[in-house]
Amino acid sequence: MLPDIYRETLARYWGFTSFRPLQEEIIESVISGKDVVGLLPTGGGKSVTYQVPPLAADGLCLVITPLIALMKDQVAKLKKMNIRAMAVHSGMAREEVEIALDNVLYGDYRLLYVSPERLSTTLFRTRLPRFNFTLVAVDEAHCISQWGYDFRPSYLHIADIREMISEEIPFLALTATATPRVVEDIISRLRMKNPSVLKTSFRRPNITYFVREVEDKSAYVLRSLKKEKGCGIIYVNSRKRSKEVAELLVANGIRADFYHAGLPQEMRDRKQTSWSTGETRIIVATNAFGMGIDKPDVRFVIHWDCPDSIEAYYQESGRAGRDGKPSFAVLLWSQDEKRKLADSVRIKFPPVEKIKDVYEAIGNFYQLPVGAGRNSVHDFDLWKFVTAFRFSVTETYNSLNFLQKEGYLEFTDEINNPSRVHFIVNRDDLYKFQVANEEYDRFIKLLLRTYSGMFSEFTPINEEALSARSGLPREVIYQFLLRLSSQGIIHFIPGKKSPMVIFTEERLDRSHLRISPELYLKVKENYIERVERITEYADNKTRCRPAFLTAYFGEETGRCGLCDTCQERNELELSKYEFDIIIDKIKKLVGENPMRPEELEARMDLPGEKSIKVIRWLLDHEKLVYDNQHRLTWKR
């Protein structure tokens, strides 16, 4: 039984009087000192399971996550709730990291978020044993498995910290999407001993799943949106298409907007807020639209383009119906879509020599000598890079992803890092400076009135907001900051927005760069298998769709009775039991020996009318096919 202090903490900070399913069981396990693997669906409240314990029991939780945007978003929300939290990631300067870690070490902090590549730096490891951690939470834990759909080599070093901190500290591994094989890998690679594996059902009973085979997607979507009410998400696989589809909807009187990672952060925030508040009804987005979406009343998610894995589809479609009310998940499918997925294998896996070309070019791009550059962080302009070396954008991007899987570097999507200010002098010396330099006095007072905490840590500032508040042009604000920095009063880090490349190892000579044929083949085979499974899901015309999805994650569930395949079965006026019995018998008979329809019907030993209905249904759905002798056989 969980002590009352944990529910009181939940009520105090989050306003809830009870935990969601599984949250309480996970917290009970970790506070008893057990390692835990927690599988909660998208929107299932994973973060509460590691945020509540350190608050209730005066501890410090180390949170490891690869999603820098999510990390920064969570820390900002926690600070608004007066919870002391800190983030350390690749977008920070060395001095920022040192001050951040010292503040956590000597301050009353409850959560320290760290990106996985930071764990292996000397700066972090020298301080690690001095932290009084009570819990280590590994978010997106499927990233540790080569069988997972988002493998990251930096996750393989997480277990090393067990040797630097107390063995008694429990590890909590969290993910929304993990097959049984991936769960086993998580347990092994995090060196968990007799962990509790706690999971909710993968079944989302309020979501009805459909696959629609359509050639004219535009016409189908317009008809559907005019018929169905409520707000929704349409997922597409390219930035260009997100804008085109949104413009199509707007032209037809539907309040829509588009979203992708290439937009400025302020614009993305504005678009997401407009959709969250209901001003925009439909958001057309790439898979970049996912982090921090907690809108409960999404009535439908439509996939205009098919994702390349069941995991991605389950996670994205699961953003519908978080309020528990009836919702829809629709995948638009066609033979052309099937060909694109099959072709994606070739695109995703550039030749090994091309991967080496990209690695060598990046070293030259940053003028890094062989043997140097370990843990160095570099802003990365993909367009400038491919233009300089005349590379294909797609091949370069996929080569970078493979170099990341090999552990040579980390490649992040665009990070929005605002400008940061830290006062180097103490308050007494600052006062003396203001008295002696009257021209800076008003500006320094503006900074101190607008932001707090600048003497103890780097504080994000907004030059536009300072400009609006003071009436000074933005450029004047910027010049004030630069001059104060040059005089040693503040440390000013200008804001920037760009992807980054982090060399996790020193630069190697091309001849020493090893792209493991075994890993290359394994990753490729895993990808092909995932593509085959999502293709099988979309092509499937006989099996209940939610049952297909849950089986993929190792959970057997019955028919939902509502998806498109179940609805077609329902028209046969047969119970699930009768239908399954007849199908199993047909499959066994024709699987052993192809036969003519009348012969099959005679050997069924069941009421003729029911057998004929199922045989016709299987023919319509191409599970039964005729061979060249006009005999029925089961299509494999």
Q: Is 622 left (phi over 0), alpha (psi -120 to 50) or beta?
A: left
* pLDDT exceeds 70 at position 571: no
- Per-residue burial over 257-278, b = 16 or more CB atoms within 10 Å of its CB, e = otherwise: bbbbbebebeebeebbeebeee
Cβ atoms within 10 Å, residue 374? 15
The CA-atom distances, in angstroms, between 104 and each of 96, 165, 441, 555 are 12, 16, 31, 41
Q: How far apart are CA 372 and CA 241, in angstroms?
A: 41
Residue 433, amino acid: F
**AA identity, residue 82:** N
Q: What is the pLDDT of residues 167-199, one digit of tens each?
A: 889 999 999 888 999 999 999 999 998 999 999
> What span, in angstroms and rounded, lies between the C-alpha atoms of 232 and 210?
15
Say if residues 328 and 207 touch (Cβ distance below 8 Å).
Answer: yes
- Environment class of 193 (CB within 10 Å of its CB; exposed 0-12, middle 13-18, buried 19+): exposed
- Please state the rounded mean pLDDT for residues 250-279: 89
The single residue listed with the structure tokens 């890993």 is 519
Q: What DSSP designation does 470 have? A: H
- Structural domains of the chain ordered from first start: 4-199 (3.40.50.300), 207-333 (3.40.50.300), 343-404+500-527 (no CATH), 419-494 (1.10.10), 572-634 (1.10.10)
Q: Report residue 378's pLDDT band, with 50, 70 and 90 as the boundaries.
A: confident
C-alpha 177/C-alpha 533 separation (Å) is: 15
Q: What distance separates the 2 farthest-apart alpha carbons in the chain?
A: 105
For 117-128, the pLDDT digits (tens) are 888 888 888 888
Directed axis angle between helix 463-470 and helix 438-450, to 10°? Answer: 110
Is there a contact between 298 and 319 (Cβ–Cβ < 8 Å)?
Answer: yes
Span 586-592, average pLDDT? 79
Find out whether 632 and 624 touch, Cβ atoms under 8 Å.
yes
- The letter for the amino acid at 415 is I
User: What pLDDT is stored for residue 429 in this prediction?
Assistant: 93
Q: What is the DSSP string of 577-625?
A: HHHHHHHHHHHHHHHHS-B-HHHHHHHS-S-HHHHHHHHHHHHHTTSEE
- Structure confidence by residue, pLDDT tens digits, 315-347: 999 999 988 899 999 999 999 999 999 888 888
Mean pLDDT, the chain, as a whole number? 88
pTM score: 0.80
Q: Which segments within 40-186 are labelled E, that is strand? A: 61-64, 85-88, 111-114, 135-138, 171-175
Q: With pLDDT > 70 as the criterion, what percentage of the chain qualifies?
A: 96
Q: Could you read off the pLDDT of 55-101 as tens digits, one per residue?
A: 998 889 999 998 877 888 889 889 999 999 999 987 788 888 899 99
Question: What distance in Å separates the CA atoms of residue 141 and residue 155, rounded to the nearest whole number?
Answer: 8
**Helix ranges restricted to H, 463-575:** 463-470, 474-486, 517-539, 545-552, 564-570
Query: Given this model, what pLDDT does residue 572 score?
Result: 64
Half-sphere exposure of 60 (CA within 13 A, CB side): 22
Give the range with max mean pLDDT: 331-335, 403-407, 595-599: 331-335
How many residues in total does the chain contain? 636
Nearest to 69 by CA among 141, 145, 154, 139: 139
Confidence of residue 42 (pLDDT cuts 50, 70, 90): confident
Q: What is the model's pLDDT at position 291? A: 65
| One-letter amino acid for residue 245 of the chain | V
114-138 burial: b if 16+ Cβ within 10 Å, else e: bbbbbbbbeebeebbeebebbbbbb
CA neighbours closer than 13 Å in the CB half-sphere of residue 507: 19
State how far the Cα of 167 lies from the Cα of 431, in Å rounded to an integer.
48
User: In a 3-state reduction of DSSP, which class is residue 205?
Assistant: coil
Q: Which two tokens stand for residue 522?
A: 């394994």
- Strand bridging mode 496-503 / 490-493: unpaired
DSSP 3-state of 210 = strand
Give residue-wise pLDDT tens across range 283-296. 999 988 876 677 88
pLDDT for res 311:
92
Q: What is the dihedral of CA 595, 598, 599, 605, to 10 degrees?
A: 130
In the block, tokens 């032209």 appear at: 251
Q: What is the pLDDT of residues 9-38, one digit of tens each?
A: 999 999 988 998 899 999 999 999 999 999
User: What percentage of the chain's residues is helix, strand, coil (to nearest 5)?
Assistant: 50, 15, 35
Task: Write the DSSP symbol of residue 524.
Answer: H
Per DSSP, what are the bridge partners of residue 228? none
Asked if residue 555 lies in contact with residue 201, where contact means CB atoms within 8 angstroms, the answer is yes
What are the beta bridge partners of residue 327? 207
- The answer to whether residue 602 scores a pLDDT higher than 80 is no
Strand partners, 258: 284
3-state secondary structure of 78: helix
Distance, CA of 280 to CA of 93 (rounded, Å): 38
Mean pLDDT in residue range 589-594: 79
**Residue 119: closest CA among 159, 175, 176, 168:** 159
Query: What pLDDT score does 559 carry?
Result: 82
Residue type, 86: M
pLDDT(221) > 80: yes
Strand, coil or helix: 466: helix
The token pair that represents 186 in the structure block: 């998580």
Q: 285 by DSSP, 3-state: which?
A: strand
Output the six-digit token pair for 12: 């105090």
For residue 307, what pLDDT band results from cuts at 50, 70 and 90?
Answer: very high
Structure tokens at 57: 């029991």
Q: Which residues are CB-contacts of 518 (< 8 A; sequence separation ≥ 6)?
A: none
Q: How far is CA 366 from the centre of its chain?
A: 29
Closest CA to 263 of 411, 385, 400, 414: 414
Q: Tens of pLDDT along 97-117?
A: 899 999 998 888 999 999 888
Helix (H, G, I), strand (E, B) or coil at 549: helix
Distance of CA 356 to the CA centre of its chain: 28
Structure tokens at 286: 């790439």
Residue 592 has pLDDT above 80, yes or no: no
